[in-house]
Structure 1
């Protein structure tokens, strides 16, 4: 087999693997759409998005009973972290690219570095962002899809 044929075969296998990894558990694909099969009594959300800050793929599924029986306090605390306009603006900005507290002030998202650090600390404690080398902050990859799902869920349905 020629090198080019081998490379083509590898690329085809890789593409098939990537398609299967993006498909939620209990689902099959129909073109670019997922068809949920036998997911049972559960809540599922998933996404495959590109933002200015990068690419994120994520899928989450939980049985309904588990969600209804859980202590909601830690979940509501994490959600409350988002319920501030400055933190919302910071998260939206960080989806474009990582930024330092100084950059957030320079861009008018916070009135001072102290205010920026206060909101960054709250978002960090809530698990939404992480600090990179050089003092720059970014939205955790595992939180991009959940964040966008929350925004989508609050649309007027």
Structure 2
């Protein structure tokens, strides 16, 4: 076999290897990914799921999947307000506090560095409008159970 034949054979074998799906590094660790791979065709999908028992006793269980084509082809600008609502230190602190249980604006204003009642109400309005908070009777606010796992997913996604 000539060198050019060996090179051509090697290139064919490498190309064949590159076409094979690569196994997940550790199926015990990546069990959710294995399940997603079994269900999603090309070009793939994104899955987030979670279970959390909050300090106030509420339980959040959530799962959502989206196809890569839908995500990459969608209008990302429609999500700016929802993301922007998280982009303020006071709002993040309010959300964190409200995952512990419902509270009124007056109770939330007592947190160190929260500012005036007008500032607190401004932040609460932003979070309610974006869907991160819900209003309850008696002027109380809480993080809706359906938003807990998405919120924790966003926070997990930005960790370095």
Partner of 1:149: 153
Partner of 1:80: 84
Unmatched 5+ stretches in structure 2:
1-27
Measure how far apart 1:39 and its partner are. 2.5
Residue 45 of structure 1 pairs with residue 48 of structure 2:
yes
Measure how far apart 1:83 and its partner are. 0.5
Unmatched 5+ stretches in structure 1:
1-29
Deviations 1:114-137 (A, max 9, x none): 111100000001111000011110
Q: How does 1:8-23 map to 2 (within 5 A)?
A: none
Q: Distance in 2 between matches of 1:144 and 1:105?
A: 22
Partner of 2:129: 125
SS at match of 1:59: strand
Q: Distance in 2 between matches of 1:151 and 1:108?
A: 22
More strand by share: 1
Tell me the TM-score normalized by structure 2: 0.73
Measure how far apart 1:80 and its partner are. 1.1
> Structure 1 pair 88/72, CA: closer, same or farther in 2 (3 Å)?
same
RMSD: 1.5
SS at match of 2:61: strand
**Residues paired across the two proteins, number:** 125
Deviations 1:32-60 (A, max 9, x none): x6451223311100001111132100011
Partner of 2:103: 99
